[in-house]
Amino acid sequence: MKPDLSCEIEIDPPFHDLDMMEIVWHGHYVKYLELARCALLRRYDYDFPQMRESGYGWPVVDMRLKYVSPISYKQKIIVRAEITEWENRLRFDYVLRDAATGRKVNQAHTIQVAVALATGEMQFVCPEVLWNKLGVRPE
């Protein structure tokens, strides 16, 4: 059975995230993904400070977003982040939904790879510390 490696957060977009058309500027969606990803990693005590302490950095190497509909000021949204791959890379899948209606407004994914901080070398298999934190093993 696949483990539940997901988390949801609510975002109330602030006024300063709006563009001149009075909708959330497309670049701020990346910030919302990051907030959900950090909340999920904190659940497993492997947020960015713990990653650094374990000797690894996890840069984003790929990011894809699909904009389905705009987000307006005061339109609360739910951001769901889920870890869907963890053997050779970390893949996070995201769905952003209107909190009131449940309607999807965006979907995205990010790919992160482990880099040994001491050498700067990319790891082709995720370090065991990740699997221990998440309570998973390679598939």
For the domain that residue 97 is a member of, what is the CATH number?
Answer: 3.10.129.10
Q: Which residue has the higher pLDDT, 138 or 111?
A: 111
Inside any domain, residue 13: yes
Name the DSSP class of 54. Answer: T
Note down the domain range covering 106. Answer: 6-134
Predicted TM-score (pTM) above 0.75: yes
Note the pLDDT tens digit of each residue in 54-109.
999 999 999 999 999 999 999 999 999 999 999 999 999 999 999 999 999 999 99
Residue 47 in domain: yes
- Please report, in angstroms and rounded to a whole number, the separation of the first and last CA atoms in the chain: 11
Element spanning 91, H or E? strand 90-98
Classify residue 43: in a domain, yes or no.
yes
Phi, psi angle pair for 20, to nearest 5°? -70, -15
Percent of the chain whose pLDDT exceeds 70: 99
Domain assignment present for residue 32? The answer is yes
Report, as an integer, the average pLDDT of 117-138: 93
The identity of residue 63, as a single letter, is M
Residue 1 lies in a domain: no
Q: Is residue 30 part of a domain?
A: yes
CB 112, CB 33: distance < 8 Å: no
Domain assignment of residue 139, yes or no? no
* Contact in structure between 76 and 12 (CB atoms under 8 Å): yes
Predicted pLDDT at 84: 96
**pLDDT tens for each residue of 7-50:** 999 999 999 999 999 999 999 999 999 999 999 999 999 999 99
Domain total in the chain: 1
The answer to whether residue 139 scores a pLDDT higher than 70 is no
In a domain, 20, yes or no: yes
